[in-house]
Chain A
Amino acid sequence: MFLTALAPVVRGRSLAERVLHDVWHSPLPACDAGPMAQANLHANENQVTVTVQIPSIDVASLDCSVHGDRLTISGRPVQAQAEGAPATDAKALVWLRRERSQDAFERTFQLPYTVDPDQTAATVHDGILSVTLHRHQADRPRRIVVTAA
């Protein structure tokens, strides 16, 4: 069955192009890089939120560290078995197509101000990591009281 299914992918590109015509000729943007670890930053005067796309990353492997005004996030991809593949060596599986990232990632973000590492919260929903950090008290602007001479 393997030879008659998506096997053209491995037998030859010309046949693959014919069999998977609508995939290769899709008008949609190419997905070579994928959505892995793309990030958005939102900030106001006292709080900054970093959201990162982390589909297929093992949540248990996520590591977030804060140093001054820099946030570093790293993680490793979830293993194929954890995604429901048979409990065999992943290299032994018959992969007909592999486009999703298999790489670990690490990103460092320069934040707009120094943050308090003790006031940090991180959650994951729908494959998106959200890290909220609060501006360090010592870094917050202070009102200077002006007294008349």
Chain B
Amino acid sequence: MSTATASPTTSAPVSDAVTPDAAAPGRPLPRVAPPIDVYQADGSFVLLADVPGLRAEDLEITCERQVLKLRGNARRSQVAGQLIHQEFGDVCYERTVTFAEPINGEAISATLANGVVRIVVPSHPAAQPRRIPVAGA
């Protein structure tokens, strides 16, 4: 179990962990590569990425050949009060994964729930193992 303690005070300046005005209009958001898990099941790859604060309408997933890209801007909701301690801010999540075998780009599906995007990437039928019938002589 990881444990940490934050001790902000009302007089503390705004943390510079994330540039406070990074979300200013017209200014690009800092780009962050979200951590991912990938496992294989039932002839598909399943990719999970942590993207807290990202809404489904802001998530863009593209696939070209064997390259899958996810991208989206996470903008935090407005919170009442003065910011007295900051560890995260508005960011642009961006991650690219290249598969070593053909994937079925037409059948990719994705869901976003609780800050985690789940992308199911079926292997291309040509990449599926096939049983070769052996005829008797």
Binding site for B on A (CB under 8 A): 1-2, 4-8, 19-23, 26-31, 34-44, 47-49, 51, 53-57, 59, 74, 78, 80, 83-86, 93-101, 103-110, 112, 124-128, 130
Contact = CB atoms under 8 A, between A and B. Distances in A.
Contacts of B106: none
B84 interface: yes
Contact of A36 (B48, B50, B54): B50
Contacts of B6: 39, 41, 107-110
B136 interface: no
Given A5-B40, A105-B1, A35 B34 contact: yes
**3 shortest A-B CB distances, which residue pairs?**
A127-B115, A55-B115, A127-B52
A5 B74 CA distance: 31
Contact of A41 (B84, B89, B116): B84
A21 B67 CA distance: 11
B101 to A, nearest CB: 5
Interface in B1-37: 1-10, 30-37
Given A1-B127, A5-B101, A42-B80, A56 B116 contact: yes
Interface residues of B, number: 65
Nearest to B117: A55
A38 B88 contact: yes
Contacts of B4: 37, 107
A78 B115 CA distance: 12
Given A55-B50, A99-B36, 12 more contacts: A5-B45, A6-B40, A22-B98, A44-B81, A49-B80, A86-B41, A86-B42, A94-B41, A104-B2, A108-B3, A109-B7, A126-B115
B114 A56 contact: yes
B133 interface: no
Contacts of A54: 52, 115
Given A5-B45, A19-B98, A21-B98, A104 B1 contact: yes
Nearest to B123: A1
B2 A37 contact: yes
A110 B8 contact: yes
B5 A23 contact: no
Given A48-B81, A127-B50, A31 B96 contact: no
Contacts of B114: 55-57, 59, 78, 124, 126-127
B5 A107 contact: yes
B105 interface: no
Contacts of A47: 80-81
Given A49-B80, A84-B46, A96 B38 contact: yes
A96 B44 CA distance: 12
B53 A127 contact: yes
